[in-house]
Amino acid sequence: MARKFLYLIAGLTVAVLALMLALWFWSDDLTEMAFVPTTSFAEQQALPPETWENPSMWVARPGKKDDPSRWLPPGFAAPQARLPVAVFFLHPTSYIARDAWNASLDDGASRERADLFVQGMASPFNTAEAVWAPRYRQAAVGAFLTAKQEAGQAIDLAYADVLASFEIFTRHLRPGQPIALAGHSQGAFLLRRLLRDRVAGKPLAERLVGAWVIGWPVSLTHDLPRMGVPACTRADQPGCIVSWLSVADPAETGMLLKAYARRTGLDGQPVGGSAFLCTNPLNGTPGSSAGAASNLGTLVPDFEARTGKLVPKAVPASCGADDFLHIGPPPKLELGAYVLPGNNYHLYDMTLFWANLRADFERRTQAWLANQK
C-alpha cells in the first residue's frame, strides 16, 4: 500500500511539473498539446440519482469506513461535539490524463487523488456531523485550458453527476437540517451552478449556513446575482458566500484570467474583465488585509506519509486591487512541488488557511443556529 501511494505521488509530481513547464512558457499550443484531450467527446448515459445511494459513489459520507474527510492534523484536538449541519463538498480536478474528456468513475489514479484532496480540503469542515463528497465524472483538467466545444460538453456531464448526487444528499437530510456547501477549483466552478439551480429562491436557501466557493472566480456582475445568496461582508454572517484565489508576489495572473475568460457567467454572458469576489480567509471579510499573526494554522503537507502539520502565523493575506488574494512573498514553508508558475498557489487555496477556514465554518454555523433561536 505504501509503495502504491509513493507511485501515486510520483505520478502526480511528474504531471504537475509538466503543467508548470507548459504554463511557464505561456504557450497555448504547448498547453493544449500537454493536457487537452485530442479524442472526440464520448456521449455517456445519464446516471439516475439512485446511483449515489451506493456508498462507493462517495469519497466521504456518514458511516463510510476510512472516510478521508474525518482526518485531523497530528496533535489537533477532535471536536467534543459535532455541529448539526450537513456539508456537501465538491473536490477539485483529480483527472489529469488526456485520453478522455471525462474521468471514468473507476479510474484508480484520479480516485486516489480525490481521496487526498478531500482529506486536506474537506477536513476543515469535519466539525459537522455529516460531510458528503461525491465521486463524479469530472472533466479532464484540459477542459479548462481550451475553448473547444468538447470542453463545455465535458463540464456539463460532470455537472449532471453533481446534480444527481446532490439529490441523494438532500434526501438524507433531517427535516430543517442546515447545510453547508463547499468546493475547490472545478468543484467551485460547478458549485456556482448548483447554487443557482438548487438553492436560489428555494427553501434550501433558508437552511444554508454558508457557501465556500474557493479557487474559481465568482463574478460580482455575472455570477453573484444568480446564485441567490449574498457575498459575506462580516465574519459572523451566516447564509453567504466566501471565495478567494491565492497568489504570492510578484504574481503573474494573465494565464489565470485567460482561463477565467473562456467560460461564461451564470447569466450566460462573458466574464472576462469583470471583478470577482475576494474574501480574506484570515478575518472573514471581503477586500481586506490581515497579517500572518492572524493565521491560526497553515497545513504543511507530508505527501509521502499522507499527513501534514499545522504551522501558525506563517502566511498573511490581502485582497488586492486585482481581486486576487495576495499572500506576500512565497512563504518559507516546505509545501511541496505544486506551486504553479507566476506564484500561483491554486492547489493550496484552502490548506494555506486550514485552521482559519475551520474557524470560519464554525462561526457562521453558530451564527445561523443562534438566528433560529
3-state secondary structure 305-363: CCEEEEECCCCCEEECCCCCEECCCCCCCCCCCCCECCCECHHHCCHHHHHHHHHHHHH
Nearest to 159 by CA among 228, 102, 203: 102
DSSP-assigned beta bridge partners for residue 210: 180
- 314 or 303, greater pLDDT: 314
Separation CA 301–CA 73 (nearest Å)? 10
For residue 89, what is the enclosing H or E element?
A: strand 83-90
Residue 28, pLDDT score: 53
Nearest to 73 by CA among 323, 311, 329: 311
Is it the case that residue 249 has pLDDT exceeding 80?
A: yes
How many domains does one find in the chain?
1
Residue 256, pLDDT score: 85
The percent of the chain in helix, strand and coil, each rounded to the nearest 5, is 40, 15, 45
Residue 1, pLDDT score: 40
- The CA–CA distances, whole Å, from 39 to 42, 97, 215, 349 equal 8, 12, 28, 31
Rounded to 10°, the helix 2-24/108-121 angle is: 90
- pLDDT band at 106; cut points 50, 70, 90: very high
Residue 4, pLDDT score: 42
Contact 301, 120 (CB under 8 A): yes
Is it the case that residue 238 has pLDDT exceeding 70?
A: yes
Separation CA 224–CA 277 (nearest Å)? 9
Look at the block and give the residue holding cell 482559519: 356
User: How much is the average pLDDT of 156-179?
Assistant: 98
Supply the range of the domain harboring residue 336. 2-372
Nearest to 197 by CA among 245, 156, 142: 156
The answer to whether the peptide bond before residue 250 is cis (omega within 30 degrees of 0) is yes
Nearest to 339 by CA among 224, 277, 247, 249: 247
DSSP-assigned beta bridge partners for residue 290: 317
- pLDDT band at 298; cut points 50, 70, 90: very high
